[in-house]
Chain A
Amino acid sequence: MNPATVPVSEPVEAGHSLWHDAWARLRKNKLALASAFIVTVLGLLCVAAPWVSPHAYDAQDLALGAAPPSAKHWLGTDHLGRDQFTRLLYGGRVSLMVGACATGVALTIGVLYGAISGFIGGKLDALMMRLVDILYALPFTLFVILLTVWLGRELWLLFAAIGAVEWLTMARIVRGQVASLKRMEFVEAAHALGLRKRRIILRHMIPNVLGPVIVYTTLTVPAVMLLEAFLSFLGLGVQPPMSSWGSMIKDGADRMEEYWWMLVFPAGAFSATLFCLNFLGDGLRDALDVRASKD
C-alpha cells in the first residue's frame, strides 16, 4: 500500500501556541473575565461621559447644594450642587487616563532599560542593575511628591512623575527574561544559522518576553492609579476644577459627616476598579503561567 494514499484517520493535532493555551486557561477563569468586562464597560462609560450623562460636569446648582441620590441626580449632588454621577464619570476619565498613560511611561522606560541591560550584559548590565537597586532603596512616595512640586501640577507631568518611579520592577523582570533567553539553545541556534540581530530580537526574544510584560503591566495599572489617587487625596495631584476619583474621595472625606454619598460613591467606584484590575492581573498571570514577583 502506498503510504501517501492512506487516508488520515485522525486529524493532525493542531499546534498549541502559548497564546492559544493562555486564552483557554483565561476563559475558564470566570472571575477574571467578569473583571475584564466590568473594567471595559466602566472605561467606555467614562469615555462616553458627555453622551451618557444629561448634566455638565461643572454645572453648579448652588440653590440645591448637596442633595442625596434622587431620580434626577442618581448619585446625588456635591456641596456645589454638581451632579455626582457625571463627576464620577469625568473623574474616572482622569483616573483611568493616569492609569493608562503612567503605565505607558513606566512600560516604555522599564522595557527599554531592562532589555538593553539584559541584552548587552557584562559590566554595563552590572552597573545598570546596581542603579536600579539604589533607586529601589529610595522612598518613592517622597520623590513623586517632590516631582509634583518641581514639575508643577500639570496633568501630563503627573503621568510622567508617576511613570518615572514605577518602571523599576518592569526593568528587573525584562532584564531577567532577556538575560536568560540570550543563553537559551534556540537563540544560539538562530545565531548559528546566521540570523541578524534584529531578526533574533523581533522573532525570538520579544515574543518570549511578552507574557511577563503583559502580566506585570496589568498589575502596574492599579498601582499607578492608587498613587495618583493618593496624591490627589493629599491635594498634590489633579487640581480643581478637574477631578479624579482620588480628589473626589478627598472632598467626600472632608464632608462625610453631612453628605455620606459624596464619599461612598467615588470610594466604591475606585475600589471596584482596583478590585477588577487586580483580579484580571492575577488571572492573566495564571493563564500565562508567569511567576512574576508583585513587589
Chain B
Amino acid sequence: MFRFLLIRLLQTLPVLWAVATLTFFMVRYAPGGPFTAERNVPPEILKRLEAHYGLDKPLGVQYVNFLKSLVTGQQPSIRHSNRTVGEIIRESFPVSLELGAWSLLIALAIGLPAGMLAAQKPNTAQDYVPMSAAMVGVCLPTFVLGPMVVLFFALKLGWFHTSGWNTPGDRVLPALTLGFHLAAYIARLTRGGMLEIMGQDFIRTARAKGASGLRILSRHALRGGLLPVVTYLGPAAAGLITGSFVIETVFNIPGLGKYFVGSVFDRDIPVVGGTVFFFSAIILFFNLLVDVAQAWLNPKVRLE
C-alpha cells in the first residue's frame, strides 16, 4: 500500500511538469500580451513593465523562473499588482472549497437515494420519476440552471441575494445549483451500478439464504454498486472543490475559478500558470484517492 502510494505520487511528477510546460508555452505564445488590453502604453513604459515582471529575459530563463515560481507561489500577479499568486490562491481557494463541499454534500444526499430507489424497482414509476428528473438535471447545465434559479428565487420571490458571498444565505443558491446538476449524474450512475450488482449470483445466493432486503443492500450490494459513482466522484469532486467557473461567474463569488477566467482574459501569465498547476495537482490527488477507494471497495482490484 505504502509502496503503491509512493510510486503513484512519483508518477504524478512528470505529469505536473508536462502541465506546467504546456501552460507556459501556450500562454507565452498566445496573441496579445498582458499589457495590450490597456490603452496604448508608451514603449519605454512597456519596456519597464516587462522588465519588472521578467518578461524581457531570454525564454529559457523565463521558463525556469516560471517553474520556480510554481513551487514557491511568490510570483507577483500582473493584474493584481500588489499580490502574489500564492496569496491569491490562499484567499480564493477556501471560498471555492466551501462552495464545493456544500454542493457535493447536496449532490450525494439527493443522488444516492434517488438512484437506489430507481434501481430497486426498475421500469416502474419508482424508477421513471427520479430518472426523468435526473435526465432534466443532466440537460440543464449550470449556466442555464444558475440564472433561472436567480430569476425565480432571488428576483421573483426575493428570498436570496442575486449574487455575492457574504451571508450564509448567499451559499444556498450556488450550492443548490451545482449540487442538483451533480446529483443528476450520481443518480444515473448509482442506478446503473446497483442494477448490475443486483443481477449477480451472489445477491441471489444471499436472497436464497433469507437475508433481508436491507441487509443485502448494506452488506452485499452497496460496496460494488457504488463503484461507478466513486470513479466518477474523483474528477467531479476535484472540479467542484477547485471551483466552478460558471457558478462563480453567475453568482459573482470570489473563488478560484473566477480568478482563473479573469487571468486568462488578462494574459496574467503567473496567475494562469499558478491556477492551472494548482487545479492539476488537485485533480491528480483526487484520481489517486479514487484508486485507493476502488481497491477498498472492490477486492478484485489490487494496488500494485
Q: Which residues of A contact B (CB under 8 A)?
A: 134, 137-139, 141-143, 145-147, 149-150, 152, 222, 226, 229-230, 233-236, 246, 249-250, 252-253, 256-257, 260, 263-264, 267, 270-272, 274-275, 278-279, 295
Contact = CB atoms under 8 A, between A and B. Distances in A.
A91 B31 CA distance: 27
Considering the complex of A and B, which 4 residue pairs feature the smallest CB-CB distances, nearest first? A253-B147, A274-B139, A275-B139, A233-B143
- Dominant SS among interface residues on chain A: helix
B138 interface: yes
Contact of B15 (A134, A147, A271, A278): A134
B259 to A, nearest CB: 13
- Dominant SS among interface residues on chain B: helix
A236 B283 CA distance: 23
Nearest to A279: B135
A23 to B, nearest CB: 22
B100 to A, nearest CB: 14
B15 A249 contact: no
B27 A149 contact: yes
Nearest to A282: B135
A140 to B, nearest CB: 10
Contacts of B239: 139, 141
20 contacts: A137-B280, A137-B287, A139-B279, A142-B275, A146-B22, A146-B264, A149-B267, A233-B246, A234-B249, A236-B261, A246-B143, A249-B143, A253-B146, A256-B151, A257-B155, A264-B148, A267-B144, A275-B136, A278-B138, A295-B232
Contact-size category for B: 35 or more
B147 A295 contact: no
B226 to A, nearest CB: 15
Given A145-B264, A147-B26, A263 B148 contact: yes
Residue of B12, B250, B276 with highest tally of chain A CB at under 10 A = B276
B94 to A, nearest CB: 20
B147 A138 contact: no
A142 B249 CA distance: 15
Given A142-B279, A149-B30, A234-B245, A260 B151 contact: yes
Given A253-B143, A278-B135, A263 B151 contact: yes
Contacts of A150: 26-27, 29-30
A279 B279 CA distance: 33
B150 interface: yes
A256 B139 contact: no
B246 A234 contact: yes
A147 B31 CA distance: 11
A138 B19 contact: yes
Given A134-B18, A149-B30, A263-B151, A271 B140 contact: yes
A7 to B, nearest CB: 45
A139 B144 contact: no
B7 to A, nearest CB: 14
A252 B144 CA distance: 10
Contacts of A233: 143, 246, 249
B97 to A, nearest CB: 16
Nearest to B288: A137
Contacts of A263: 147-148, 151
B118 interface: no
Contacts of B30: 146, 149-150
B231 interface: yes
Contacts of A139: 239, 242, 276, 279-280, 283
B260 interface: yes
Contacts of B29: 150
B183 interface: no
Contacts of B195: none
Given A146-B23, A149-B30, A137 B245 contact: no
A154 to B, nearest CB: 11
B112 interface: no
Nearest to A130: B11
B213 interface: no
Interface in B260-284: 260-261, 264-265, 267, 272, 275-276, 279-280, 283-284
